[in-house]
Structure formats: C-alpha cells, structure tokens
Amino acid sequence: MEAFLQQLINGLSLGSIYALIALGYTMVYGIIKLINFAHGDIYMVGAFVGYTAINSFNFSFFPALILSMVFCAILGVAIERIAYKPLRNATRVAALITAIGMSYLLQNGMIYLVGSETRAFPQVIQNKVYEFFGLQVSQTQVMIFATTIILMLALQLIVQKTKMGKAMRAVSTDADAARLMGINVDNVISFTFALGSSLAGAAGVLVGLYYNSIEPMMGYAPGLKAFIAAVLGGIGIIPGAMFGGFAIGIIETLVSGYGGSLIKDAVVYLILIVILIFKPSGLLGKNVKEKV
C-alpha cells in the first residue's frame, strides 16, 4: 500500500508536466482543429531557455521559469503567424505536414545550435526530502505540483473571467459567428498559442528540474503522451486535458513501478487506441453530432 501511494505521488509530478503540455494541445485543437506537432518541441525549447537562464545568467528558479514562459509564448505566436496562419483554409493534411515540418525544424535547429548530447540541468532547488507517514516527497515534487496548480488556476481564470477568455471560447465554438460579432479571430488564435506555449515552456523547466537532464529530442515522447492525455480527457476541453495529463502520468508511473518499465510507453499508446475505439470524444467529452 505504501509503495502504491509512493508511486501515486511520483505519478502526480509526472502527470503535472503532461497536463501542462496537454493544455496547449487541447486549446490549440479546440480553436483551430490542428494537432500542433511542434508543441512538444516548444516544451523542449522551454527547457533549454530555462537551462541557459540558470546556467549562464545565474537566474534563480522563478525568474528562469517566467523567462522561459515568455520566450515560448513569443515562439509559439511566431510559429503560428509564419507557418499556420497562411494555411488556415488549406486542407488538414497540409496543416499537419506543416506542423510536422515545424517540429522537425525546432528539433534539428536545436541540435545544430547546442549539439545533440544530453545536458545536466542545474539544480537550483535544494533537494530536501520530506517524509509523511513513510512516504517520501521531494522539494522538487512539491514545487512542480504547486507551480502546475497555480498555472492551471491562472489559466482557468483567464479563460473563464476575462474578455479574451470569453473571446477564446466564442472562437472555439464557432469562429465565423465570433468574427461576425466583432471578435478579432486572428488575435484570439495568437493569444491561444501564446498561452499554450507558455505552459509548455513552464513544463520544460519543471521537467529539467525533475529529471535533471535535457536534450534536443526530449520533446517528442512527452509531446505525444501529452497529446494522448488530451485525447483521453476529451480534446478541446480544458479540464479534460488536466484530468488526462494526471491520469497518463499516474498510469505510466504505476506501470513502471510494478515492473513494466520497458513497456510503459506501449501501455500509454495502447490507451490511445482503446480510447479511439470506445470513446473517441474522450472521457469528459460529449458526443457531438457531425453537422454538414
């Protein structure tokens, strides 16, 4: 039982990171129906920005986190404006290929800039370990969990209470109707990319702290898993992405904790297939009739 609870705690930390990435996927999908394959690589860039800020400029944790979020937000908007905006009315395949191209560009660009070797992320947080009832919780884990919850609350506040959030929800419901109501759809889409990418940037810094290593290809697998998390929760639904992220994180940790560390990735991909067979709209999704 104790081992199980311990795995649960570890799973929550990993799940927080997946949830932060999944939020970006889900918001972008909700608003322009595009799987933004480059999202996982934005998260990688976030990790490297955090690394550089801490290593070269001696930033402490929070300024590095914020710098990384701002940088990723700008990067996300730039990618949207340059690569995705001209394709808004193109076929889905064209948009997806562009997204793949962008992802490939970020990966290879980063390898070109910094080399492909793995780097150790500087440990800016004292690694104290707290014990509760025989369960170990490290300072980093607390920090990851707290940061995630704060960011999620902030996101929820922005989406539900601000004018921009209202515009986002309007555009995701019906972009044309929103445009007729005087909403600047382009700006709303850019804002969505900025929000999603900044969350991915935060996740990048947090994962650097948690796993202590970063490399240019690190975005691929977590990006894919975060997307699966978004599908699991119901793509386009913000609480769904949070739920899905935590669920995938916990499942992955439990599988590897009980001797399946070699197949933990396969289990996650299998969840995707199962969810696509039985409930493609996701666990929190409603069945929407396709309208012609």
By CB under 8 A, name the binding residues for other proteins: 33, 35, 83, 86-87, 90-98, 100-102, 104-105, 108-109, 111-112, 220, 224, 227-228, 231, 262-263, 265-266, 269-270, 272-273, 276-277, 280, 290, 292
Measured from the CB atom, is 35 or 209 closer to other proteins? 35
Measured from the CB atom, is 41 or 206 closer to other proteins? 41
Provide, rounded to whole angstroms, the least separation between the CB of residue 111 and other proteins. 5
Measured from the CB atom, is 57 or 269 closer to other proteins? 269
Measured from the CB atom, is 71 or 227 closer to other proteins? 227
Measured from the CB atom, is 116 or 162 closer to other proteins? 116
Radius of gyration of the chain (CA): 19
Residue 2 near residue 134 (C-beta atoms within 8 A): yes
Provide, rounded to whole angstroms, the least separation between the CB of residue 224 and other proteins. 6
The token duo for 102 is 């962008």
Measured from the CB atom, is 59 or 84 closer to other proteins? 84
Per-residue DSSP letters for the chain?
-HHHHHHHHHHHHHHHHHHHHHHHHHHHHHHH----TTHHHHHHHHHHHHHHHHHHH---HHHHHHHHHHHHHHHHHHHIIIIIGGGTTS-HHHHHHHHHHHHHHHHHHHHHHH-SS-EEPP--S---EEEETTEEEEHHHHHHHHHHHHHHHHHHHHHHHSHHHHHHHHHHH-HHHHHHTT--HHHHHHHHHHHHHHHHHHHHHHHHHHHSEE-TTTTHHHHHHHHHHHHHH-TT-HHHHHHHHHHHHHHHHHHIIIIITTTHHHHHHHHHHHHHHH-TT-TT---PPPP-
Provide, rounded to whole angstroms, the least separation between the CB of residue 83 and other proteins. 5
Residue with tokens 């894919």: 224
Provide, rounded to whole angstroms, the least separation between the CB of residue 261 and other proteins. 11
Provide, rounded to whole angstroms, the least separation between the CB of residue 28 and other proteins. 12
Provide, rounded to whole angstroms, the least separation between the CB of residue 209 and other proteins. 26
Measured from the CB atom, is 135 or 270 closer to other proteins? 270
Provide, rounded to whole angstroms, the least separation between the CB of residue 44 and other proteins. 14
